[in-house]
């Protein structure tokens, strides 16, 4: 399935119509093969944009989704971001692509950014972009950055070839919110899109993020969202 673009005229969308904008996520370390196959089947059944899974499960999920048009996404330098070497990150990106992933989300070197190592920060991302060869989404961890660092991080990520800017890696960093999405949308160059991530649990929350300009939503609550059975009570933004 091709990446979706949300046009103002298309909103509001029904709950079921959010499916093409959702990256159906399952990243638990104890998930079994049976659960991963079921996860892939859910992605196909509901028509999600992609199934997001750990790199070790990419071959299984890619085989299950072959011919469906549903993407296979994975993450790198995650869930603890900025701990891999740049060479290791690039090599793993190439391997993940070989295994069948069509999209890749990556952590960034926050410590390097805060140390003023801007060239190294940019090249860490660029090495992955070159090695992977497909759309790379950069998890910027906005709440961990100062106002100045946010501006620099966004520019460096785009210079490095990021296809998507992403507010955070997970809900432990930030609950996805319209303010962060609009911040990234306002700074994105032509062709660069925005993915929202972090405790997206309900249809209403997902719709508000799309209205703010996100074109992808990363969430493990995709089924609850498209069936409008999700819980808004824990959303705080």
Q: State the catalytic residues.
A: 105, 166, 195
DSSP string, 111-156: HHHHTT-HHHHHHHHHHHHHHH-S-EEEE--GGGS-HHHHHHHHHH
Q: Which of 74, 126, 122, 123 is nearest to 97 (CA)?
A: 74
Give per-residue burial for 129-163: e unless 16+ CB within 10 Å, then b.
bebbeebbbbbbbbebbeeebbebbbebbbebbbb
């Amino acid at each position: 399935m091709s990446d979706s673009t949300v046009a103002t005229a298309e909103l509001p969308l029904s709950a079921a119509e959010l499916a093409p904008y959702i990256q159906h996520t399952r990243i638990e370390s104890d998930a079994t093969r049976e659960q991963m196959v079921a996860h892939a089947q859910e992605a196909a059944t509901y028509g999600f944009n992609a199934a997001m899974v750990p790199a070790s499960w990419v071959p299984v999920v890619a085989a299950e989704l072959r011919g469906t048009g549903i993407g296979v996404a994975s993450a790198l330098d995650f869930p603890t971001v900025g701990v891999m070497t740049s060479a290791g990150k690039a090599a793993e990106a190439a391997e993940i692509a070989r295994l069948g992933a069509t999209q890749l989300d990556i952590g960034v070197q926050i410590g390097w950014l805060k140390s003023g190592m801007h060239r190294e920060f940019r090249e860490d991302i660029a090495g992955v972009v070159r090695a992977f060869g497909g759309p790379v989404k950069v998890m910027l961890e906005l709440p961990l950055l100062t106002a100045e660092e946010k501006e620099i991080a966004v520019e460096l990520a785009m210079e490095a070839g990021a296809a998507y800017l992403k507010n955070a890696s997970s809900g432990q960093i930030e609950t996805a919110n319209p303010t962060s999405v609009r911040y990234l949308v306002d700074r994105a160059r032509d062709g660069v899109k925005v993915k929202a991530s972090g405790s997206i649990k309900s249809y209403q929350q997902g719709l508000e993020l799309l209205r703010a300009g996100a074109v992808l939503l990363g969430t493990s609550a995709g089924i609850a969202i498209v069936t409008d059975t999700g819980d808004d009570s824990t959303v705080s933004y």
